[in-house]
Structure 1
């Protein structure tokens, strides 16, 4: 090659290298200006989006590709400071410097403090949830349509995910929430996010409870997906704060797995799906059960939709409790001013052993330890329109395979009532009386030694279809639901005699959800497996129910009120005893001070007597001769009759008048 050409090539290459070297030198010299330009753009973008000031006290390069930002604060206009941090160390993309802007690849944040404050309706964080676009449909917060919580939650999710950095390492990150009623403090010694992986150690103090947790998970901000796991870092477990104060309950667990897998927002409707799983859940609430409820594993695969006046748990939602699974559909919606509630529960065929072993411990004491063959399946369908309560729909079915059979009883042998057994009566959780239900007890009466009037009156008033149903009367239960919704409280139970018997023999008298469910399961087992005959069930019922203070059973009641045997009761006496079954301790309110039935009892007598006549249980003549009054004898009379003997008073008055006349004449 020509020497002159080589020389020119070398000069050209040297010139290019010199140019790039000069460019690098210039970029190095002016990189601070590039950094300032980038910082100014970030501040302008944030302050244009939010009514707040973003302050960065100092920004400088620590080396060729590292930037240190210090004295950073985010202050809403006219409100308390929301966020401060001592320093942020950021790795810079060299390529971005050549493009005249700076892109931070990794953030190391030290001593960050997020301080949320609420005072009345004023917060220093609410502006983050407000819509910053003018074209998007505004939330429906008017009085006529109600608040669209779907749109509100969608904004919350997008705001959180849109501000997630690719890589960040927090050291000593602190967050707090303060309001007049509560304070929550969260401290993270570290939190790392690296290419979607999350790891942190968390200390949470709220409601005098402190939880120590470890967190691991993954996040994909672009697709709004997150999966996290919370682990207890001590033996106390993870305890939920404020639950005791708000609901008089306690909730604790070892591990929580929670994920958001999909999010769709369209036409004002937000649909989210994912799953949650809790290990070793412990729940305590006096309305649920007397003891701690313990569930080894519980999980839900959820699909939930929120919209204007609409809340739906989709039927694709599956709930798992240990080995038992069920699909759940629930809906609450408001159309104009009408509230409509729907609930459907459906299980697949589950092996009977899996069903009983999956029942949470501490919830159904009598059923713990039961073993069985075959399978079970349950379906529930409930619908109510609050403006049309008479159209309530309630269908509940528990089906079993033909080979379903109890192979081993657990804590309680449900067949014990086929023979003599010891029965203990409890009041307010304490035993008040124990007696034998059987011939060994002198107050025990076989069913054929109890007046037909009493038997038929009780069946008429309490459970007319007792001998034909399988333990449940769905129409009676539906009517009870209607009555309770109308009254706005638990005013009627809809219990059959079978259910009342089970409640008295096997269960506590406390009104808990667990007791009601256990009652239903035991009744179903007794009736569907023919563990006890109907006659025996009714006989035991008549010998154990309460009829007054320390008065239990038909014979005790017959003697207490009327001084006679239960076989000798007449129609009026039978109807009276039937009338006080719902509230036996208030029997004295049925009488005046002379021992006469009060007038309001006449309506009850006409109703029960009329129903017995129409069903052929009494004759027309017996109905026409029915008079709403009874004659008290024995202990009941001594307690009820408090008025003085009228004739004695008149005699005393006459004698006083005669003595007065004699004195005047004298």
Structure 2
């Protein structure tokens, strides 16, 4: 029995020995056959010539391919490399494909060229004509980016060799208006460890960086860290040209932890962190946005007309953290969703996390207690009028300001100096308080003017906490319907904060700072409603270098603000949105234009329904005012033909009086 076993084992060993000898004897032919199949496969699929001048084994399982080039038909050479030394798995040779286990590549050049509408790489981007067509379905129209990304990831990870040693790897792109050059003196991958140096020149922008990371192809896991190699930082190209923005950072860490592709939906998860991030965009801020540390743990899903940032995604800016859900789908209609939620966080963590220099009035604030924020936004472009917008910032009962920083927001409780700006330049500085002869306490301003402004600008001023979500919602609807910024939805509190504390530039960060200051004032009861309204009435613009109700009353009507009648109050209210266009309300003789009558009927009707004026006052409301003083001199340009008639009427009245006397 033992002899039979030994004989069987010996036979097996002899068979494998013979197989090894045959493989060794015919390996060159197998390699040549495999290389020919690869060339044929590539050339059958693409309009190119793939040339491999020499392919030979240099030891038992190492092969050297030399003088390799890929040349599209009738176009510039796309790729060349001097030599490739690789360790090859014999199993892959039997399958007619080469799978490299170890790879050494010297002097490689990828050269992409675009001349007009012709490129030497378009063939790589075109859809495979032999691939089966997908059934046409209106509900499934559009490209599945999840499927494309999954295919790209699997192709990339499945072909990662165990060891890679690139020396002098170069890539370039040239067109009539753009040049990109990438040079990598070396790229090493050894047992999952990645290291490289990269020099990138994009037109005139040069980035020098080090790259380190790890890769595990079996689990689709990749980590990479990019470090700047000079003081200029890593700057993103084309952002300035395409978006009028600048993005730069010192270090970027990215990680792909996992991917799953099920039911035509790709889910990828991972993290990213950036250090010393600098952003600059005129719509974000008029200054550089500096973030010491920003990070995100992401879960993203991509599918047919579907892009989702899952609610498991956490975004961190310095110490402040928030979970974010964002989605866009376009199956039957365009639908947008955005949800932001934070856990309870110390107020000091929130304020210290605000990028320095960005929210100047909030810098240095010290607080007690915690804050929590929730945002819910939903928009279906087929039913814009049903847009959802809910925004809530909650605080603990003990939340309060312990110490002000750069700006004491409570300064508006007493007299303060205020400077008006135009196009970023100061044009007038005045005191908001009794020391200013043009200052008017709220009790000395006509109830007609106060009620007209409240009715037109912010009917819920005395009941809300600085924000009117329905006004915001209506503003969103209006702006979407008109495709422009046609309505702002600002409350009087927001307008006051904008005028007193902020610049006039319309940026996202200014709106955020405005909202935070308003929330502090209203929710901590830092300033009374009457005081807020009084300051508002004394600083808003009403014409050329005309600020405040008293100045406006004298400029237009030559009277005190307490003497304004209903028609005059409605006129002053009507020009608040565009005070520099005050002349457009009048004809050359100083009469209100006909189109103003619609505004008078509308606002007068609102005031009547709210009981702010009587039915008799509404019925006697006539859309006209009589100008005096400086306003008349600026507005009335036609010859005055009413003087004779007025003089005659005055003479008749005086005669009647004398007779009666």
What TM-score results when the alignment is normalised by the length of structure 2?
0.89
Given the superposition, is the C-alpha separation of residues 222 and 138 from structure 1 closer, same or farther in structure 2, using an over 3 Å criterion?
A: farther
Aligned match of 2:383 in 382, 385, 388?
Answer: 388
State the 1:35 CA deviation.
4.2
Q: Which moved more, 1:562-571 or 1:222-231?
A: 222-231
Q: Hey, what does 2:8 align to over in structure 1?
A: none
Given the superposition, is the C-alpha separation of residues 99 and 21 from structure 1 closer, same or farther in structure 2, using an over 3 Å criterion?
A: farther
The answer to whether structure 1 residue 556 and structure 2 residue 545 are counterparts is no
Q: Which moved more, 1:70-79 or 1:231-240?
A: 70-79
Q: Which moved more, 1:432-441 or 1:301-310?
A: 301-310
State the 1:123 CA deviation.
4.9
- How many residues end up aligned between the 2 structures? 634
Q: Hey, what does 1:10 align to over in structure 2?
A: none
> 3-state DSSP class of the match of 1:518?
helix
- The whole-number CA distance in structure 1 between the counterparts of 2:96 and 2:612 is 100
The answer to whether structure 1 residue 403 and structure 2 residue 398 are counterparts is yes
What's the CA shift string for 1:62-101, capped at 9, x where partnerless? Answer: 5666543211112345554332101123356799999999
| Aligned ranges 1:173-212 → 2 under 5 Å | 173-212=169-208
The answer to whether structure 1 residue 419 and structure 2 residue 417 are counterparts is no
Given the superposition, is the C-alpha separation of residues 28 and 547 from structure 1 closer, same or farther in structure 2, using an over 3 Å criterion?
A: same
Q: Hey, what does 2:488 align to over in structure 1?
A: 493
- The whole-number CA distance in structure 1 between the counterparts of 2:588 and 2:96 is 101
Aligned match of 1:161 in 157, 162, 170?
Answer: 157
Q: Which moved more, 1:617-626 or 1:487-496?
A: 617-626
Given the superposition, is the C-alpha separation of residues 340 and 63 from structure 1 closer, same or farther in structure 2, using an over 3 Å criterion?
A: closer
The answer to whether structure 1 residue 274 and structure 2 residue 248 are counterparts is no
| Aligned ranges 1:365-384 → 2 under 5 Å | 365-384=360-379
Check conservation: 2:139, 2:331, Cα contact below 8 A: no
> 3-state DSSP class of the match of 2:312?
strand
Q: Hey, what does 1:11 align to over in structure 2?
A: none
Check conservation: 1:544, 1:553, Cα contact below 8 A: yes
Q: Hey, what does 2:148 align to over in structure 1?
A: 152
Q: Which moved more, 1:269-278 or 1:640-649?
A: 640-649
Check conservation: 1:543, 1:552, Cα contact below 8 A: yes
> 3-state DSSP class of the match of 2:334?
strand
State the 1:625 CA deviation.
1.1
State the 1:175 CA deviation.
1.0
Check conservation: 1:237, 1:254, Cα contact below 8 A: yes
Given the superposition, is the C-alpha separation of residues 233 and 593 from structure 1 closer, same or farther in structure 2, using an over 3 Å criterion?
A: same
- Runs (5+) with no aligned partner, structure 2: 1-12, 646-661
What's the CA shift string for 1:589-632, capped at 9, x where partnerless? Answer: 00000000001111111111111111111111111111110010
Given the superposition, is the C-alpha separation of residues 78 and 149 from structure 1 closer, same or farther in structure 2, using an over 3 Å criterion?
A: farther
What TM-score results when the alignment is normalised by the length of structure 1?
0.89
> 3-state DSSP class of the match of 2:630?
helix
Q: Hey, what does 2:472 align to over in structure 1?
A: 477
State the 1:376 CA deviation.
0.5
> 3-state DSSP class of the match of 1:521?
helix
What's the CA shift string for 1:84-130, capped at 9, x where partnerless? Answer: 10112335679999999997542211110112345677654455566
- The whole-number CA distance in structure 2 between the counterparts of 1:20 and 1:390 is 77
Q: Hey, what does 1:639 align to over in structure 2?
A: 634
Q: Hey, what does 1:508 align to over in structure 2?
A: 503
- The whole-number CA distance in structure 2 between the counterparts of 1:22 and 1:332 is 62
Q: Hey, what does 1:71 align to over in structure 2?
A: 67
Check conservation: 1:129, 1:156, Cα contact below 8 A: no
Q: Hey, what does 2:624 align to over in structure 1?
A: 629
> 3-state DSSP class of the match of 1:335?
coil
Check conservation: 1:131, 1:138, Cα contact below 8 A: no
State the 1:645 CA deviation.
2.3
Check conservation: 2:100, 2:161, Cα contact below 8 A: no
Q: Hey, what does 2:315 align to over in structure 1?
A: 319
Q: Hey, what does 1:566 align to over in structure 2?
A: 561
Check conservation: 1:55, 1:74, Cα contact below 8 A: yes
Given the superposition, is the C-alpha separation of residues 155 and 180 from structure 1 closer, same or farther in structure 2, using an over 3 Å criterion?
A: farther
| RMSD of Structure 2 on Structure 1 (CA) | 3.0
